[in-house]
Each structure stands twice: as C-alpha cells, then as structure tokens.
C-alpha cells in the first residue's frame, strides 16, 4: 500500500442489509466530504493494484476498506455484490477465490457476471416501504432476479415513479428524485401478498442467493436436488429463452392484477422492469418446479410461442432452448440431470422422424 490507511474521523456501522456502495456514500456525507465518492477515492489512493472499490475483487481492497471504515472485512464482503458469487458464478466457470484478512477464503464475482446479473449503482431499484423505515440502499436490491421485497410482499420500484428518471444509490439515500424532486418513499406500492406462487418463486430465488432462509410457503413443488448455482443457471437460461419470444406466449405466468402488463418486446436487460422481472422469473420457475414434468410442459408450450405450430423439427421448434442452452451452455456435467430429462422428453414425445434421426445428440448417444 502507498501509505497507512488511517480510519475516517466519523464512522458508523453498516445498517441492516445495507449495501457496500450505500455505506461508502453515507460515510462520505457523515464526514462532510464535498463528493459522495470521496471515501472510494481515499481507498483507491491507498491501493497498489487497481480495483473497483464498490465491487472489490482483491484482498488488499478489503483490507484497506476495513481499516478505513473500521468494519470487519467479512461484513464488507457480505454487503458487496461479491456475496452472490457462489450462486451467480456458473458451474462452468473456474471460480476464483481470495483470502480475507480474517483468513476466510471467499469466491469473487467477475465484473462481466456482475454486469449481466445485477443492477448498476447508477440505475437502482428499491422498496418504498423499506425506505420509510430507514433511508439506505439494501444489498438485496442488487440482483436482476430479485423483483420483490419479501418483508413487505410488494414489487420493488426502479426509477422515479413520476418522471421515470434513473436513480443512483445517492438518490435512494436522499429519498428524492434529483430530476423532479419526487419523494421516493411515496412511490406507489404494488402488493403481491395474494400471489402465492409468485412469492414462492421469489423466496426460493432469494434463498439461493443467501438473502433469505429456505421458503416455508405451502406449495407442493419438487425441485431438482442440485446445488443453488446449478439451479440458478438453469432458471436463468429459461428466463432468457422467454425473452427470445417476440410477440406473445400463452405459457407466461398469469401475474395478479396491477402486475400484469404487456411483457413483449423484452429482449434485453434495458427492457426489464421489476414487474417484467417478476413475470419472467415466475414463468421460468414453472419450468423448474415439479421436475421434470414442469420442464416438459415448458418445452411443449415453447414450441407454440408467437403462434407457431410445432413441425417435429427439434431445432426449429425449440429454438434457442436447444441451440444455445441444451447444446452448449448446459453441456457441463453439472447439468447432466437436464440432459437426461431432455433425452427422455425426446424419446417420449417424438417419433423416429427424419429430423430427429439427424440430430447430432442422437448420433453421439444412440441409447
């Protein structure tokens, strides 16, 4: 390090569920710095290697941060996007780990996966009811797959409800839109308390991300007995295949009143809102529960997306589910259960048509 990391003069602990970027901005305000990024800059000046301070990937960064804010590095790790690494890093990825000052070894989330699977600090989502209780940004609100506040059983909000301006973490701390002055704690609340399956899907996803304990919702659902990282990757693949639909699909999850909205077009992360994310992940979750029957129902329905009529040609009927996910991204041994389920689906649902016989997977595995 370039120089000793003397602690900040004014310090305070992490608030319940607070994210690391929220802590650093809040401490900059409490120390009366002219810039909300001043604590981040102080940390960066003390590093010998470049690193993204609000998304630390180096042991040294956690060490400097811990000395600067006088909070244990283990707590800072849990408040950062890095806490999602065990689940978001795909089984196909050779996971990189770092030691924390305590001696504990933890995995890190590469910037690429973070960009794809979490919301940036410049375009955040929030729960208005949580902000009424305490004005700080929560780490729970970072993942793309999290669309609901389980505590208040309502949809999260992203952007200003009045002028639709994107919001930064600093705006959430100040609970006010910088563009029109709208008070964020007064954003409209869309309750999903009566939507049992939607809440169930969100509670399971958030338990995979270690944000909540295992769900106790009373729904009969048989999930594959596989690690969270594998199930998350399976779910994420199904979610992305839904986003490949252009116009309409009858198999979309029927969200409750106030949530349901035209989903399509929704081809990229830019198109997603908390309501759309809620529908997308609930729809994808239908392909994971009651395994493998739910998966088979998903495949059957996907053949009829956009008003198509199945023609018995596997690649054309199933599109990106087959060509991208089954043939490539779910090819790792961790997804053997998916491949076996799909093989059974082919043998049960298809006759020995010319198109089926020509499949490379049948040629490589005649059994």
Supply φ then ψ for residue 75, to 5 degrees. Answer: -70, -40
Could you give the CA distance from residue 252 to residue 281 in angstroms, rounded to a whole number? 10
Supply φ then ψ for residue 148, to 5 degrees. Answer: -135, 145
Q: What is the mean pLDDT of residues 258-285?
A: 92
Could you give the CA distance from residue 209 to residue 250 in angstroms, rounded to a whole number? 29
Q: Cite the beta strand spans of the chain per DSSP E.
A: 97-99, 105-107, 125-126, 148-149, 154-155, 157-158
Q: What is the mean pLDDT of residues 54-82?
A: 96
Please report which confidence band the pLDDT of residue 102 belongs to, taking 50, 70 and 90 as the band edges: very high
Please report which confidence band the pLDDT of residue 1 belongs to, taking 50, 70 and 90 as the band edges: very low
44 vs 7, 65, 145, CA distance in Å? 14, 9, 30
Q: What is the mean pLDDT of residues 14-19?
A: 97
Could you give the CA distance from residue 125 to residue 128 in angstroms, rounded to a whole number? 10
> Which pLDDT does position 154 carry in this prediction?
97
36-46 pLDDT per residue, tens: 999 999 999 99
**Inter-residue long-range contacts of 188-191, CB under 8 Å, 24+ positions, other chains counted:** 188/157, 188/161, 189/128, 189/129, 189/152, 189/154, 190/154, 190/155, 190/258, 190/259, 190/275, 191/153, 191/154, 191/258
Please report which confidence band the pLDDT of residue 64 belongs to, taking 50, 70 and 90 as the band edges: very high
Q: What is the mean pLDDT of residues 96-110?
A: 95
* Bridge partner list, 107: 97
> Which pLDDT does position 353 carry in this prediction?
53
> Which pLDDT does position 363 carry in this prediction?
55
Dihedral angle of Cα 312, 318, 319, 320, to the nearest 10 degrees: -150
Name the more confident of 261 and 35: 35
Q: What is the mean pLDDT of residues 100-127?
A: 95
What percent of the chain shows pLDDT beyond 90? 83
Q: How high is the mean pLDDT of the chain?
A: 91
202-224 pLDDT per residue, tens: 999 999 999 988 654 445 568 99
Beta-carbon count within 10 A of 238 CB: 22
pLDDT at 242 over 70: yes
Asked if 113 and 74 count as a contact pair (C-beta separation under 8 A), the reply is no
> Which pLDDT does position 348 carry in this prediction?
80
* Bridge partner list, 47: none
């Amino acid at each position: 390090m370039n120089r000793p990391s003397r602690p900040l003069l004014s310090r305070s602990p992490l608030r319940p569920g607070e994210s690391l970027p929220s802590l650093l901005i809040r401490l900059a305000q409490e120390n009366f710095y002219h810039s909300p990024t001043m604590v981040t800059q102080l940390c960066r000046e003390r590093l010998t290697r470049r690193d993204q301070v609000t998304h630390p990937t180096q042991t040294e960064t956690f060490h400097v941060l811990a000395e600067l804010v006088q909070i244990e590095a283990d707590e800072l790790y849990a408040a950062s996007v890095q806490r999602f690494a065990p689940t978001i890093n795909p089984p196909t990825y050779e996971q990189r780990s770092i030691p924390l000052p305590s001696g504990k070894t933890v995995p890190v989330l590469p910037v690429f996966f973070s960009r794809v699977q979490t919301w940036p600090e410049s375009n955040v989502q929030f729960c208005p009811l949580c902000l009424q209780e305490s004005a700080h940004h929560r780490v729970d609100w970072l993942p793309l797959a999290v669309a609901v506040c389980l505590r208040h059983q309502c949809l999260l909000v992203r952007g200003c409800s009045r002028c639709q301006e994107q919001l930064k973490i600093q705006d959430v701390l100040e609970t006010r839109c910088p563009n029109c002055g709208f008070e964020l704690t007064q954003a409209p609340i869309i309750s999903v308390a009566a939507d049992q399956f939607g809440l169930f899907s969100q509670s399971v996803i958030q338990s995979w991300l270690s944000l909540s304990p295992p769900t106790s919702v009373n729904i009969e659902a048989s999930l594959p007995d596989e690690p969270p990282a594998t199930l998350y990757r399976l779910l994420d693949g199904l979610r992305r295949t839904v986003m490949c639909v252009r116009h309409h699909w009858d198999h979309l999850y029927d969200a409750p009143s106030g949530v349901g909205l035209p989903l399509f077009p929704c081809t990229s992360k830019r198109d997603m809102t908390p309501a759309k994310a809620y529908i997308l992940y609930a729809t994808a979750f239908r392909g994971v529960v009651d395994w493998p029957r739910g998966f088979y129902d998903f495949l059957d329905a996907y053949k009829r997306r956009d008003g198509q009529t199945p023609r018995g040609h596997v690649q054309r009927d199933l599109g990106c589910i087959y060509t991208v996910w089954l043939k490539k991204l779910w090819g790792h041994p961790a997804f053997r259960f998916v491949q076996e389920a799909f093989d059974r689906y082919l043998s049960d649902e298809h006759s020995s048509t010319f198109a089926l016989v020509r499949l490379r997977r049948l040629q490589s595995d005649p059994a």
